[in-house]
Amino acid sequence: MPMVSIITPAHGAETTLSSTLESLIAQTHADWECIIIDDGSTDRTAEIADRFAARDRRFHVLRQEQSGVSAARNAGLAQAKGDWVVFLDSDDALAPAHLEIMLHHTRTLPQADILHCGWRRLKDGAPWWQPHPAVKMDNPFAETARYCPFAIHAALLRRSRLAEIGGFDPEMTMCEDWDLWQRLARAGAEFAPVEGPMADVSVTAGSLSSDRIKHLDFGLKVIRRGHHSDPRIAYPVPALAQGITQAALGTACWYLATWLVGATIGQGDDPGELLDRVAEPLPPDADAYALSAILLDGIVVGAFPDEPIWPGLWSKIQGKLPELEAWFNRHGPQEAFGSLLVRSLERKIADQLPTNVPATIGTRRIQPIDLDRPIVDLILPGIERLRCCIWQGPTLLGQLEFVVFGAIEADAIRNRLRLAFSPEFDDLTHATAAEDGSVNPDQDDERAASASIVAPSHRGGAQRALKLMAKISYWAEAKAVAGWWSKKEPTPAPVDSISALAHAGRVEFDRIVEEESQRAAAASAQMLKETPSKKTGPVDDEVPKYDTEAYWEELFSQVDPWDYRNNYETVKYLQTLSLLDDRRFSSGLELACAEGTFTRMLASRVDNLLATDISASAVARAASLQDHDGAVDYRQLDLLRDELGGPYDLIVCSEVLYYFENREKLRQIVDKIAGSLRTGGWFVTAHANLLIDRPNETGFGWPHEFGAVGIGEMFDQHPDLTLSVEAKSPLYRIQRFEKVEHGGFVEPTRVEVNTAQPLPLQVASQVRWRGGQVVEAAADWNDVPILMYHQVSDDGAEQLARYRQSPEAFEAQLAFLRDAGWRGMTLDRLLACFDEGAKPPEKTLVLTFDDATRDFMTHALPLLHRYGFPSSLFVPTGRVGGSAIWDSAYGSPAPLLTWEELAAVAKSDVTLGAHGVRHVRLSALAPDNLLRELAGSKAMLEKCLGRDVLAVAYPYGDFDPAIRDLAEQCGYRIGLSCVGGTVRADADKLALKRQEVFRGITPSEFANLLFG
């Protein structure tokens, strides 16, 4: 019996069958049989089959009425005798060593049921378009649930496995091979790749089926079966019985549909019916870049063009793309999804074009520039991106990309090249006046091709060209790959001899920037009108003295002069109450009660409470606002001059004791309070941390002799008082002292508490975060990790879980960083390292947060303050105060910070940066909208928050060299990507790498992020 049975269905195959069968005769392995099934042919197919059977007894011919390819293969399978089977269509072929190599692997891979090799298309006998290598499938069922992984004759199949599942499904008149692979995978068949393209598919004009609706319907049927149960499989692998996760269904459907849409466009037809036929919506995480690659493949295969494919094919398909773009913009999961898809397609096509010939692909222009020729201004109507390919003689040195506004000045290109080549540039060339007039590349490609930047003072030849090429750095963005010259600080370009048309591009740039600046100024003025500021404590160099009664009277002539009811104060009051445990007090004294805000909270814990203040106005207002049933008396009392009375079970005094001008006066107060407490009574106090106590820690720079630490030490030194509980936050300490027998001691309990956010502006603006210390310079550069976070929250859509850290996990990461000796660096400090040559020391990092969701303020910021790390927050300015609507396809989007909250955050050891206006992929946008996203977000943040904004985080990490340079023109000094890695000394400041901290990361994985 033969080892291999080759099954070849044939219908109307008179032009191809002979070459197919000849490829079998040429096999280096001879132990095979071929069963040819004549499926009701009316041409010479049967005659050819009979002739081969007469010539070689390994060929056998079956005849049947036309029943379709699946029925024909099943008929052949029923007659097969080999242990292994190959299904070879009548217009395909096998490489001569195909069977020998494949059978060899059945011995080296004895567990395999399906061995599959690479395959390629042949046009006129020569390889055409892209080959398809064999790829190992870690999960064959998941793969076959999404797509057909290989050509049918690229597989060698164990016949017994085919018998178990019943061969091909006769109802599948298309995609029957894909269906077969999927059923075999669900039944547990083992797949194994074999290296090398050993299966050929001969293609001719019209060989791709024109029935794309049928192709789509049957393909979707296979995909949907892969995501559900399949009753045709009697004994599936239990884990696969219900199919793979439904979350992957939409992606698989649209991968197939997009390829067929491309094939339809390539064949010159309208794809609208196909697009509307897919019931599944585009998934929220649909990748326009991946879809554009699939679309491109479909277009080429559908069009079946001659070489070179581009740019000739572009003229035939471009008319179909506006409708396609509009459809995907309407139905895409993200704003401008269709625009991104088409622009990505244009880029991929442009990447395939030669770099020494001018060409236009949609909105993209390829322009060669020869360093041996003078440059001219370029007039570029309808062009959004210009790719300048820089040549010197026969050597391509690199590429520059520009966002263009209808034209580009010669000087703009010249200055970019000067930056790239400096200092060799001036040695190699000397500037010359540009030719009179401008070039419209679409009107005069020959003249445009000769445009270059300078005439040479001498020619350096290939050796000089290679030397200069070594000066060029390339960078690859994860989604859109392109190169650009390494940058130094920009220098203004001269404009003395440019044409009016070329200058119009710069005018348009300036007009948009000015419009965005005016828009931001108007918004800022409106916000100032709507949000009057509150005082919330002493301002600037104001130093109140406690014993100046007139000061306090003037202060309390206003209602709530220091905003006692803000969130920051309220949380502090609640934290103070928590130190009282569950104890109830018979008598209590509150010193410096102000308008009684805390008094009203304290009253329910004390049977008889006396609330006092040095200001008679404050006491009167507190009494008038009483809204509780507790027994509270109100009285004016001067801490220094008046007796406190007592004894009391509880005395409370907060945020006033540092107003005593020296330690002697404070000691008098300590004695008074200690003397007015019963033994076992408690004194509770809350005061701000001041730099006078701990100059290297976060605190206020108020010009007092002591802060919370000094006050606490003074009370703890009293022989009758001992510290029993201390709650410490970054900005204040709340302490509870217990009156004990003389010399007694209680072991104190110390706890960390968070400061409430947002901080009142007047409070935040007076804090000296980390004592005002900056990261010092080191002798050598140490690579800096920039960690990228999105949300710190337990709540949100499951599909977005990757982008959320739980508060507990985030705190654990901060604790690890602190304990391991890592210190935080601001982006401003990192920028200074680049600009000034200062080198960051070991173990410094930058923490960044994208999107400005509200959980940053409520969950992340308190922990950052507690552990002493600065951070950077990137804000999509057009969405401020709204929600992250770009995630709405996943469920309810997360709320975003308001402008008022951002103003407070900006003064809370947080560097604010831009994240676009609308949080859209920048590569999707036309130049004017792109510029509005970059310039508009910067202007809005600067006008509304009153501070320079130097950093941008590209939304989705989506940018390219031209966008990077436009960001630089808008005034950004730092640009953050989503490309993984740490920041090296030679990094491009406008394309810095970041390390994403994803949900579920292990401690060891987190530690590895810090070292790239």
What is the C-alpha to C-alpha distance for residues 599 and 751, in angstroms, rounded to an integer? 24
How far apart, in whole angstroms, are the C-alpha atoms of residue 240 and residue 233?
Answer: 11
Task: Give the residue among 454, 387, 451 at the shortest CA–CA distance from 421.
Answer: 454
CA separation for the pair 934, 529 (Å, rounded): 26
Q: How many Cβ atoms sit within 10 Å of the Cβ of residue 609?
A: 25
HEC assignment per residue over 79-95: HCCCCEEEECCCCEEEC
Domain range summary for the chain, segments of one domain joined by +: 4-208, 265-350, 354-498, 549-756, 782-1009
DSSP 3-state assignment of 470? coil
User: How many other β-carbons are positioned within 10 Å of the β-carbon of residue 98?
Assistant: 28
* pLDDT computed for residue 499 by the predictor: 58
Distance between CA atoms of 233 and 565, rounded to whole angstroms?
A: 68
User: How many Cβ atoms are within 10 Å of 696's Cβ, its own excluded?
Assistant: 10
User: Distance between CA 943 and CA 521 in Å, rounded?
Assistant: 6
| Cβ–Cβ under 8 Å, residues 611 and 599 | yes
Q: Using DSSP, state whether 865 is helix, strand or coil.
A: helix
Rounded Cα distance between 477 and 428, Å, is 31
For residues 947 and 912, the answer to whether their CB atoms sit within 8 Å is: yes
* 589 burial via Cβ count (<10 Å: 0-12, 13-18, 19+): buried
C-alpha closest to that of 401 among 387, 414, 412: 387
CA angle 353, 354, 359 (to 5 degrees): 65
Q: What angle do CA 154, 155, 158 make, to 5 degrees?
A: 165
Class of domain 549-756: alpha beta
Cis link prior to 758 (omega < 30° from 0)?
yes
Secondary-structure breakdown of the chain: helix, strand, coil percentages, each rounded to the nearest 5? 40, 20, 40
Length of the chain: 1012
CA gap 922, 480 in Å, rounded = 12
d(CA 765, CA 7): 81
Q: Which residue has the tokens 């859209």?
A: 920
The answer to whether 549-756 and 782-1009 have equal CATH topology is no
Q: 45-55 vs 17-25: helix axis angle to the nearest 10? A: 20
Residue 110 contacts by C-beta under 8 Å, 6 or more apart in sequence?
none
Residue 798: CB atoms within 10 A of its CB come to 9
Q: For the structural domain made of 4-208, what CATH number should be given?
A: 3.90.550.10
Strand-pair partners of 631:
608
Mean pLDDT, 10 residues at a time, the chain of 1012 residues:
96 96 98 98 97 97 96 97 97 96 96 97 92 96 97 97 96 96 98 96 82 96 97 96 93 98 96 95 95 98 94 96 97 95 97 96 96 90 95 91 93 85 50 45 42 31 36 32 32 46 84 96 88 66 76 84 86 96 96 93 94 94 78 93 95 93 93 96 97 95 93 96 96 97 88 92 91 90 97 94 96 98 96 92 97 97 96 98 95 96 96 98 97 98 96 97 95 97 96 97 97 86
The residues pairing with 808 across neighbouring beta strands, listed in sequence order, are none
613 in the Ramachandran plot: left (φ > 0), alpha (ψ -120 to 50) or beta? beta
* Tokens representing residue 172 in the block: 């599948």
Task: Give the integer Cα–Cα distance in Å for 912 and 904.
Answer: 11
Which stretches of 546-643 are assigned E, i.e. beta strand? Answer: 585-591, 606-613, 631-636
| Cis peptide bond upstream of 695, omega within 30 | no
Angle at CA of residue 45, ends 41 and 51, nearest 5°: 140
Residues 763, 769, 770, CA angle at the centre, nearest 5°?
150
| Nearest-angstrom CA–CA distance, 655 and 677 | 20
Q: Where are the alpha helices (DSSP H) in 422-493?
A: 424-428, 445-449, 461-469
Q: What confidence score (pLDDT) does residue 31 get?
A: 97
Q: Give Cα 1009 to chain centroid, integer Å.
A: 16
| Alpha helix (H) residue ranges in 3-110 | 17-25, 45-55, 69-79, 98-108
Tokens found for residue 500: 């009016």
Q: What's the DSSP call for residue 335?
A: T
Quote the CA–CA distance of 99 and 458 in Å, as a whole number: 61
Q: What is the dihedral of CA 977, 980, 986, 988, to 10 degrees?
A: -10
User: Locate tokens 């404009």: which residue?
Assistant: 495
Q: For residue 454, how many C-alpha atoms fall within 13 Å in the half-sphere facing its CB?
A: 20
H or E stretch covering 177: helix 176-186
**Rounded to a whole number, what is the largest CA-CA distance in the chain?**
126
Per-residue burial over 103-124, b = 16 or more CB atoms within 10 Å of its CB, e = otherwise: bebbeeeeebbbbbbbbbbebe
Q: State the Cα–Cα distance between residues 553 and 567, nearest whole angstrom.
A: 25
Bridge partners for 912 per DSSP: 873
Instruction: Return d(Cα 305, Cα 890) in angstroms, integer.
Output: 41
**pTM for the whole thing?**
0.87
Cα–Cα nearest to 810, from 794, 822, 827: 794
DSSP state of 83: S
Return the CATH architecture of domain 782-1009.
Alpha-Beta Barrel (3.20)
Contact status, residue 275 vs residue 282, Cβ threshold 8 Å: no
Residue 765: what residue type?
S
Residue 969: count other Cβ atoms within 10 Å of its Cβ.
15
